[in-house]
Amino acid sequence: MVNVTRLASGLTVVTDSMAHLETAALGIWVKTGGRNESAGEQGISHLLEHMAFKGTTRRSARQIVEEIEAVGGDLNAATSAETTAYYARVLKADVPLALDVLSDILTDPTFDAGELEREKSVVVQEIGAVQDTPDDAVFEHLQDLAYPGQPIGRSLLGTPETLRSFDRAALGGYLGRHYHSPSIIVAAAGAVEHAAIVADAEQRLVSLKGPAAVAAEPATFGGGMRVVRRKLEQAHIALALEGVAQTDPTLFSAQVFSNVLGGGMSSRLFQEIREKRGLCYSIYTFHMPYSDTGMFGLYAGADAEDTPELIRVVVDEMTGALDTIAEAEIARAKAQMKAGLLMALESCSSRVEQLARHIVAYGRPLPVDELIARIDAVTVESTRAAGLALLSRGRPAVAALGTGKNLERAVELAGGLTRLAA
């Protein structure tokens, strides 16, 4: 049973009690992420997420993890463009402990100077790991091209230069400006009691009272082309067009369009480019919605010499789908989406993440029946219309990593995608 309580402070508590479980997943979601960082703050949201676990006045960094792991649980956190989440998975009896630890790290962090210097070094290594992983690095370039000069386009990890500039005062100031009750959601699913979670959250997070944080600046999709020369065995190409926002009424049709093109092994691009032509090992499409914009696009890894042909086929398949998508493909994509949704409901961790995402996006948890109805409402006509809208939203962003003279040609061909769609 799903319950929602909004406290006078503005804090939202949402729970999904699952009586048949003996475990629970719970967390604190803050509606603050990379998009909320001002000039010079790039990477501070992610560093704050790391430093929250590095000690409070009540617990050392080691005690924080030992208290949870001593009862068989685990702690984790994640930073995105629009949210930062701190969460735990524990047994039923240990839910109060988990909420106490999660509350403690957000209301009373010490930001110890020694821990801060060590953690900045850890994040610099994380930046290096991304650069050593070309299928991650190409998306860093893609995001920058899609939203140039904007917080949403910058790497969530920051840069070695920005990281070195952060001190205890910077972290405390950022937390004090953005971590206020109206921007916070406490979510729990599994073996939990709503009233108990509400009472604990109200008591433990009382110090986070304050006004709602200033909204992030609106996103403006840019686009452009970039080839980064790297000595790699494969070339890595990613392209994106402006997608639709999380609350856009065409969202589900846009997601079906993406799934038909490259959402699985039966998709058009996988079958045509990998199975029939053998032009790549990996290829897929994606649609990532944000609060006010979105990114629809594609990633492929291939031999650099094959990239122009690969992109020609991509362009043909994407533009051709506007007129040829069939009912059977729509039905298959919708079945995949519904199966993924329903399978996730079997996990309390997936449920709690969905609850928090819905509160952030819609202000309420969407019932499963409503989600299924939205998927079922997608038709061939609505999918084609959504596809046409996606392919008509200005110039794409196209990034490529690798070597070989054909990469520039491939990127140029991808840049013509919207012209051909028109």
Q: Does the pLDDT value for residue 420 go beyond 70?
A: no
Last residue of a domain, one of 153, 178, 208: 208
Same-domain check for residues 345 and 237: yes
pLDDT of residue 37: 96
Question: Is residue 216 one of the residues assigned to a domain?
Answer: no
Structural domain total, the chain: 2
Same-domain check for residues 141 and 230: no
Question: Is residue 368 one of the residues assigned to a domain?
Answer: yes
CATH of the domain at 114: 3.30.830.10
- pLDDT confidence of 214, banded at 50, 70, 90? confident
Structure-block tokens of residue 341: 């949704």
Same-domain check for residues 230 and 204: no
**393 or 193, which is more confident:** 193
> Which residues are catalytically annotated?
49
pLDDT (tens digit per residue) in 269-285: 999 999 999 999 999 99
Q: Does the pLDDT value for residue 211 go beyond 80?
A: yes
Structural domain of 397: 224-421
Same-domain check for residues 150 and 261: no
Question: Is residue 373 one of the residues assigned to a domain?
Answer: yes
Q: Does the pLDDT value for residue 89 go beyond 80?
A: yes
pLDDT of residue 419: 55
Q: What angle do CA 268, 272, 274 make, to 5 degrees?
A: 110
Same-domain check for residues 199 and 233: no
Q: Does the pLDDT value for residue 286 go beyond 80?
A: yes
Same-domain check for residues 58 and 185: yes
Question: Is residue 414 one of the residues assigned to a domain?
Answer: yes
Q: Does the pLDDT value for residue 421 go beyond 70?
A: no
Question: Is residue 299 one of the residues assigned to a domain?
Answer: yes
**pLDDT, the chain, mean:** 95
Question: Is residue 390 one of the residues assigned to a domain?
Answer: yes
Same-domain check for residues 313 and 361: yes
Same-domain check for residues 228 and 188: no
Same-domain check for residues 243 and 123: no
Same-domain check for residues 163 and 311: no
Last residue of a domain, one of 140, 173, 208: 208
Instruction: Give Cβ neighbours of residue 394 (< 8 Å, ≥ 6 apart).
Output: 221, 223, 241, 242, 418
Mean pLDDT in residue range 211-230: 92
Mean pLDDT in residue range 250-258: 98
pLDDT (tens digit per residue) in 116-147: 999 999 999 999 999 999 999 999 999 999 99
Give the predicted TM-score (pTM) of the model. Answer: 0.94
Same-domain check for residues 33 and 150: yes
Question: Is residue 367 one of the residues assigned to a domain?
Answer: yes
Question: Is residue 40 one of the residues assigned to a domain?
Answer: yes
Mean pLDDT in residue range 147-163: 96
Last residue of a domain, one of 208, 243, 266: 208
- pLDDT confidence of 215, banded at 50, 70, 90? confident
Same-domain check for residues 236 and 354: yes
